[in-house]
Each structure stands twice: as C-alpha cells, then as structure tokens.
Amino acid sequence: MNRETQGIIPLYVFQYGGIHYAIDIEKMQANVVDDLTAEYPGRVSPELERPLPSDPEENLKKKKQERTSIITMALFVTRACNLQCSYCYEKKINNSMEEKTAFQAVDWLLRQSGDMKKIYISFFGGEPFLNFPLIKKVAAYAREAAGNLDKTVGFSVTTNATLLNDETISFLREYDVNVLVSMDGPREIHDKQRPFADGHGSYDTIMPRVKKLLEVKPDTCAHAVLVDDSKSELVKSSLKNIGFREVTLLPASPSLFEEEKKTGKVKHARKLDGLLRELERETELWLKLVKNRDKESLKDLRSRAQLSQALLSLLHNKKLRYACGAGIKFIAVSCEGDIYLCHRFVGLENYKLGNIFKTGLKENYRESPLTRVPSCAACFARYYCAGGCKHDNAGSCGSAWTSSEEICRLRRRELELAAVLVSQFNDQDRAFLNEYEIFPPKPCPLDF
C-alpha cells in the first residue's frame, strides 16, 4: 500500500549535538526539526522515529528493471603478483592470460555494449604490469576494433606501482589510461601491509616511480586499505602529501578463498570505532570550513573526505538502487575467459556468470537489494548504501545479499552526519560550494 496516500512520510529522525534532524528517505532530503508537527503538518505518525520501508510493489511500478548493456570489463591479464599484502583476498596463482583470450574478451564486450558508444577496459591482476606486453596489444586491438564499430574505448589500470618506468608511463599517457595506485600511507604502515614476496618493504621502491607518474598524470588516484581504523587520517594525509589529488580508503575485506577452505563458512568482523570518531571530526571540519568560506581547504578535504559521497547524495537528492554496476554494467574476465560478477570474485565458482567463448550469461544479480532484501528495504540509508559491496557482504556474512553489521553501521553514520551538514548549509553556503566547484550543481532532470 502506498504510504504517501495514507499521509505518512517515511522519515528517519535522529539527534546530534542536542539538535533533532529528519531525513526524508524517499526524497533524500534532510532538515533540522524543532517541532515535527509543525514541520510536517497533518502527516505525523507514531512511527516517525523509525524508518518505514517502502512498499515493494510500488517500487517495482516506479522502477522496472530494465535490460542494461555491459560496458565495463576488468580484464585479468595475470593473476601473478610480486607483493604479498597482509590483507590480500586473492588466491595465489601465477597464470597469465593468452592473447587469443584477451582479444575474444574485447570482442565479447563490444557485442554486449549494444548501442552504447563507449566501452571501458580496466587492466587488472595480480599486478597487471607483470604482463605489460599483453596490455599494449589489447589496448591497440581494442582501440581499432571499437573504432571499426564507431565506438570509443576508455582504459584504466590498478597497479601497485612497483613496475612503473619510462616505458609504462609513456604508454599510460599515450592511451590516456586512468591510473589507480594501491598504496597504504606512510612508510611504516605501507611496508608492514604491502611487502615484497621476500618480506622487505615496497615503499622506497615505489616512491620515485609514483613521483614520476604524478608528473605525467597528476590526476592519478590512490586507494588505501585500512587495517587499523585509528590511522585513517594519518593514511589519508600522507597520501595527499605525496601528491595524490584524490584518495579513497576502505577497511580490509576477508579472503573468501581462505575462509571457505578453513571453515566452510564465512564470518569476519571489523573494528570501526576509530573511523567513526574520525567521521565526527570531519563533520565539524566541513562546517567550519564552509562557514569560513575556506575554498582551498575545502577542495583538499573534498578529495580525501569519507563523507563526500553521502554529502553529494543529499545535495543532489540522489537515490541509488544498486551499490555498484557489478553483474549489471560491469563484469570481470579471468585469465581463462570465465566471466565473474566483479574483479573481487574471480576464481570463485559460485560467482561465475559465464564464459566469453560461450553464449548465455547468468543474471543472478540484476535484482536490486532494495526489492530483494527486507533489511535493506527497511533501512533509512537504503538509497545511499543500496545494499553494499557484494564481496564485502559475502566475506562478512557468507552471502552477497547480506550486509555486515559493521559496514551498515558505518554507512548509516555517514548519512546521518551528512544530513547534519546539509541541514545546516543555507542557500549562500550551497551557492558557495557550487561556485568554487567543491560540489557540482545538482543536475537538471531535463538534461539528457
């Protein structure tokens, strides 16, 4: 039954700093509320202080699942790696992709892309530059094959930076490859978490290579894995000081291979108290810098902030129904040509969707968690989190559809704190954020 016709708005009400805030779940809006009855006249319900799930049937009417084209592929040119990261979720395999398989994968992606005019290929591993000769061949082949179909292709690579040199950096520039460098912060943390196979640290090896890369590709991003949640600010600030304009950070995920082998079931809990405290400090910093109109500090904060996506969601009233495009617009292809839900599931038979040399593709994961998972449908952060990372879910709870309690706690807090900030931004604050491109203006719904 449609709750709007009953006069009930699905609200989530919470308190922060002695002030009450309300998130209008369906509209993805947030406000300070002194008097709920005055703020929402005639629409007050005893259930207002807890999230109300949307009616699944109504959601299905509003958002029919459409057949979407797969346009992005993580291509595993190798499973080998020259590092032994302490948190690695991969199974140690030294095989590499053959040229025939790589070219077939490109052709398969072009067919799957349908009428879409651009495809995206991400070179993955292991450490992908261990098979640099194949990367060069694939890039040239894909560019020509896409051009023959009046399409274009974008490239990206995720690398540990140990093999960057003049030749690889020249290639990255020639093919305009977006680069994500896996780096875990200052030397003492990075070397502990990301040593070479013989045990010695990799920090001093990659630093001069990273510096050279940033000179040529200054927009290169860094991604850090957080093992100690109390070190989040140290990790982010150290990577910004190196020269990375944007830094992303996530807690370490368990290996499905190791957990299943040991116990037959998966369970992994993480401590997030330090990260949650950092989010509150970040909230106060956002508010201070906005009110002081400190645009340079805000640009720096925006590039490394944990709250950036939650803020953007509420500023743009953005509603997600999928946490990512895994199995919908994005897939991963193993060295053997098997197709998986995403790059993090490669090698796990239960998450295999097909093979590039065969017809047919399983569509197990095209349903939105918001219509399939009751706990997601009832969560006030459903349109922000949208069910979470399926690999993280599987590693924490044993099911790609079941979100871990600690990550749910983190995402909910992110949205709460973003709501606190958005509620206190006045029109002048929002105009300032747009004018200096801290956040882009909300897109016009009539723009196509």
Residue-wise pLDDT for 114-127, tens only, equals: 999 999 999 999 99
Does residue 132 or residue 2 have the better pLDDT? 132
Mean of pLDDT over the chain: 88
| Residue keyed to tokens 């003492």 | 188
Task: Pick 72-263+320-355's CATH classification: 3.40.1030.10, 3.40.50.720, 3.40.50.300, 3.20.20.70.
Answer: 3.20.20.70
Q: What are phi and psi of 95, to 5 degrees?
A: -80, 160
The string of pLDDT tens digits covering residues 347-391 is 999 999 999 999 999 988 999 999 999 999 999 999 999 999 998
pLDDT at 280: 96
* Residue 37 pLDDT grade (very low, low, confident, very high; cuts 50, 70, 90): low
Distance CA 438, CA 136 (A): 36
Q: Kindly tell me the burial class for residue 103, based on how many C-beta atoms sit within 10 Å of its own C-beta (0-12, 13-18, 19 or more).
A: middle
* DSSP state letters, 267-334: ------HHHHHHHHHHHHHHHHHHHTT-HHHHHHHHHH-SSHHHHHHHHTT---SSSS-BTTTEEEE-
Mention every residue, 6+ apart, whose C-beta is less than 8 A from residue 173: 216, 217
Q: Are 275 and 410 in contact (CB under 8 A)?
A: yes
Residues 6+ apart with CB under 8 A from 313: 28, 320, 383, 384, 415, 418
In this predicted model, what pLDDT tens digit does every residue of 270-321 receive, in sequence order? 678 888 999 999 999 999 999 999 999 999 899 888 999 999 999 999 999 9
Cα 360 to Cα 60, 83, 84, 327, 354: the distances in Å are 26, 36, 36, 13, 7
pLDDT at position 62 over 70: no
**What pLDDT does 448 receive?**
37
* pLDDT at site 67: 55
Q: Taking the complete model, does pTM exceed 0.85, yes or no? A: no
pLDDT of amino acid 274: 85
Predicted local distance difference test score (pLDDT) of residue 440: 93
CA dist., res. 272 & res. 410, Å (int): 8
Q: Is pLDDT of 53 > 80?
A: no
Q: How many angstroms separate the CA atoms of 157 and 168, rounded?
A: 11
pLDDT digits (tens, 9 = 90+) for 250-261: 888 777 765 544
**Contact indicator for 403, 387 with CB cutoff of 8 Å:** yes
Domain ranges of the chain: 72-263+320-355
Query: Do 240 and 195 form a contact (C-beta atoms < 8 A)?
Result: no
Q: Do the beta carbons of residue 77 and residue 131 sit within 8 Å?
A: yes
Token pair 């199974």: residue? 91
Average pLDDT value for residue range 331-346: 96
How many Å apart are CA 204 and CA 207, to the nearest integer?
5
CA distance 101 to 332: 13
pLDDT at 443: 82
Residue 332: the pLDDT is: 98
